[in-house]
Amino acid sequence: MNEKIAVIGLGYVGLPVALAFAGRMPGTVGFDIDPQRIADLRAGRDATGEVDAQNLRDTALQVSDRPEDLAGVTFFVVTVPTPVTDNKQPDLRPLESACRTIAPYLTPGCIVVFESTVYPGVTEEVCGPLLAEVSGLTLGRDFTLGYSPERINPGDRVHTFEAIVKVVSGQDEATLERVAKAYETVVAAGVYRAASIKVAEAAKVIENTQRDINIALMNELSIIFDRLGIRAADVLAAARTKWNFLPFSPGLVGGHCIGVDPYYLTAKAQAVGYNPEVILSGRRINDQMGRFIAERTIKQIAAAGMEIRGARVGVLGLTFKEDVPDLRNSRVPDIIEELTAYGAIPLAHDPLADPEQARHEYGCDLVGFEALNDLSGIVVAVAHRQFKSAPQADLLAGLRPGGAVVDVKSMLDPAALPAGAHYWSL
């Protein structure tokens, strides 16, 4: 291919994409505005844990935080995050900032492909006009747009960038074919040509919305089963024996995708006059699960006959999911906040999370495992591999006799708990 590629944003999504392109297209540029991120990558360190040091040392990828290194690029891939504001509205500022960064380096014939999750219409109605305004070029004549939704699952070593079918789209037929050809070069699983950019945008946002709603159903069922005095994990184990039962589980829903993307779709739906009741209902259920788990923890401690105020409660795990260091939009801090409101003293331990980031994002001071002693309760919030592989007796060694064990992921063996422990799980 006769393209010079630049990937804008080198996070969980952008770095694997940039490395894949660099492996086939020498001269590929990986750009990020964070100088520390660039310094770490040059030193062979990936804070996301997605890429090992050897791959970073062996790559031909040129990483940079200097916009001038984007000169001469013909094919831009934008992979910056798309968060929501405090009032759950789409926050397009990172996307708009990326457009302003690359616009001065657009030249006739360039293509800009967006991978960031957005609501249908953002690429053509927001990004395209902004790129044209800042660059002084004409959209559709001097440069064109594409959209290819990211499908990377952090921490997943099976469903990697190259192994997942890539949905591609373009604002015209020629652009679509150039976008498809570029991704076919690096994605072994092949590409799917979507009917339009809006279709591709919608396909991505509903992938995570579907998962969010299904998990919300499991969470609501777990609340009902709790009131009925039965364990959701036992009910689901029985139900999964039917061939067409969908294997979703209850739990905390956070991260930069499932806990965020549905709000992009609902905001657009409301903008065109429709109130999406099912999607928003699912979001409400999932957003309150941290509080629900904290309340059940308090009840278990009370049932054990222990004082709530001043009770030390160990919280195992702070990241948004198992086996990743990503703290973005984690719902575990909801548990910590609610426990604190009851007067308990939560002690969070996570072997993967960055202590500085935990303090900055949530005001949470992580502790070493050795600090988890004299505990009235333990909340196993995230099923990290380190926790699952540890002997259960060691994991619960800091629990006081008769203390509470709250097993969010149903990871523990209830039959092997310390004698007298008050056990509860989703």
Annotation says 110 is catalytic: no
Contacts of 201 (CB under 8 A, 6+ apart): 118, 119, 120, 121, 122, 123, 147, 149
Non-local CB neighbours of 320 within 8 Å, separated by 6+ positions: 252, 254, 255, 256, 259, 326, 327, 328, 329, 330, 331, 332
316, 284 Cβ separation under 8 angstroms: no
Nearest to 398 by CA among 370, 426, 359, 363: 370
How many whole angstroms from its chain centre is CA 329?
8
What separation in angstroms does the CA of 413 have from each of 238, 294, 301, 407?
17, 21, 20, 10
Cα–Cα distances (Å) from 252 to 140, 154, 190, in that order, read 43, 16, 33
Sheet strand arrangement including 345-349 = 345-349, 312-316, 375-380, 399-407, 422-425
39: tokens are 């310094």
The whole-angstrom separation of Cα 306 and Cα 242 is: 42
Single out the catalytic residue among 99, 127, 257, 364. 257
Report the distance separating Cα 59 and Cα 68, nearest Å.
21
d(CA 371, CA 349): 9
Q: Which residues pair with 404 in a beta bridge?
A: 377, 422
Q: How many CB atoms lie within 10 A of CB 220?
A: 16
- Which positions are catalytic? 257
